[in-house]
Chain A
Amino acid sequence: MLKIDRLNQEFMTFGPVSFDVKTKEIVGIIGESGAGKSILLKSIADMLPHDGKIFLDEVEQQDIKARLWRKQVALLPAEVVFWNQKIKDDLKTADNEIIKKFGFIPEEILEKNTDDLSSGEKQRIGLLRIFENRPKVLLLDEPSANLDEKNKMILEEIVLDYIETNNASAVWVAHDHEQLKRVSSKIFEITQNSFKEKF
């Protein structure tokens, strides 16, 4: 279980925030652009300095190495970027079965240049890349913002399947209220200076 206890960050106007994400649960977060949703996710991933405490299965974030925390609490940023030329250099351990589950033909996608990926492919490869660490919590920052309906559904299915089979959980940030209603058990709304559950 992920427990956020009075988390606050210099650029978060709505803090401090506290909430729990139980095993196999997805918590949705909605809010206007620039409200601080990405800052919240980056703080949970320990990518930004912050106040308050965050626990994963009762282990406090600052008590374990940052890189170990980030492997367990994995953030998928809104913009997925690559530093290798070929996909096969980015995916080290993903086997063909998992790659197929993501809707790819392994031989084709592994040989593809990272510059030639569509938005949908980038997001799915981004997910596949973080799944290699077998994270316990997924922090998804508008993962389907640039995707069409078909790709959106594929992505939702992949995430729900991962959470179910790995006893994981997720914090899902999106603009699409309907999507959040579909995937999450509760939704928090960020406004200028508040963070509260939306019913």
Chain B
Amino acid sequence: MVYLSYYDLLFSSFFLLAAGILSFCLKLKTEKALLIAASRMVIQLFLLGLILKTIFSYVNLYMFLLMALVMLFAAGFEVRGRQKYKFKGMVTFFIGTGTMGTIAFTLSFLTLVLIIKKEPWYTPQYAIPLMGIMLGNTMNGVSIGLDRLSSGIVSGKKIIETRLMLGHSAAESVADIKRDSIKSGMIPLINSMSAAGLVTLPGMMTGQILAGAPPEEAVKYQILIMFLIAACSALGTMLAVTIASKRFFDARERLCLERLK
């Protein structure tokens, strides 16, 4: 394995810096978001590296659950933060964490017990990265799906109300918007699965190969992860969008946009 120095990382950051400068020159106004996201990524990953080093040395169920909960809550806030229209209070956060938690925990647990079969199943070196990649991808799907849903319902208010007036159910009235929202949430993963190996070498596989793992093993892991994250993201997006779409109506199937901020 070729070890990286901090100078190597600094050097690679210059490319991103160049993109930021170009964004500034072209007045794209994305340089600030780029800078913040890149700084967050560096701080978060270094902290994670430090924490993982400690956590990997303790094989403890409660430690794993605590770490998973921290990751889940962070993902919940991220989902909430990415919405143009949020429900009042913490509803969006709870829909996000509830669906991501249920799906990511269940799938991670099943994978660890039935496929990876490492004893105990919560061995942090396997359980935490798996949980992290599942949550991260589900978070993307859920946040895109929820954002499209609420934007679609706000802009389609007149059509939804007309359908309700004609005696359509709440579910029928938002069916098209719901379908499009779920599709939008799933498209990034469908694209990355379709392009995997042809256009891109997926990140995890690249990392493993660069770290010295045999390519066949890296490919097997990558396929496993792709299946899992696609399933997790699809199920999470479907569940979150379905729950949220019901929240837009009261018991008499009236559209309640006042429930949004």
Contacts and interface: CB of A to CB of B under 8 A. Distances in A.
Given A77-B162, A81-B158, A46 B254 contact: yes
Contacts of B162: 77, 80-81, 83
A107 B254 CA distance: 36
A45 B167 CA distance: 10
Contacts of B165: 45, 47, 70, 74-75, 77, 130
Contact of B254 (A49, A68, A75, A83): A49
A150 interface: no
Contacts of B163: 83
Nearest to B157: A81
B164 interface: yes
A79 B253 CA distance: 21
A66 B168 CA distance: 10
Contacts of A62: 252
Task: Bin the interface of chain A by size.
Answer: 20 to 34
Interface string A83-94: 100000000000
B65 to A, nearest CB: 42
B69 interface: no
A71 B254 contact: no
A133 B254 contact: no
B176 interface: yes
Contact of A77 (B161, B169, B254): B161
A175 interface: no
Contacts of B168: 67
Contacts of B159: 81-83
A86 B258 CA distance: 32
Contacts of B166: 70-71, 74, 129-130, 133
B199 to A, nearest CB: 35
A117 interface: no
B250 A47 contact: no
B156 to A, nearest CB: 8
A67 B249 CA distance: 13
A47 B159 CA distance: 13
Closest 3 CB pairs of A and B: A71-B167, A66-B252, A66-B253
30 contacts: A45-B165, A46-B252, A46-B254, A47-B161, A47-B164, A47-B165, A49-B252, A62-B252, A66-B254, A67-B164, A67-B168, A68-B167, A70-B164, A70-B165, A70-B166, A74-B166, A75-B165, A77-B158, A77-B161, A77-B165, A79-B158, A81-B158, A81-B159, A81-B162, A82-B159, A83-B163, A129-B166, A130-B165, A133-B166, A133-B167
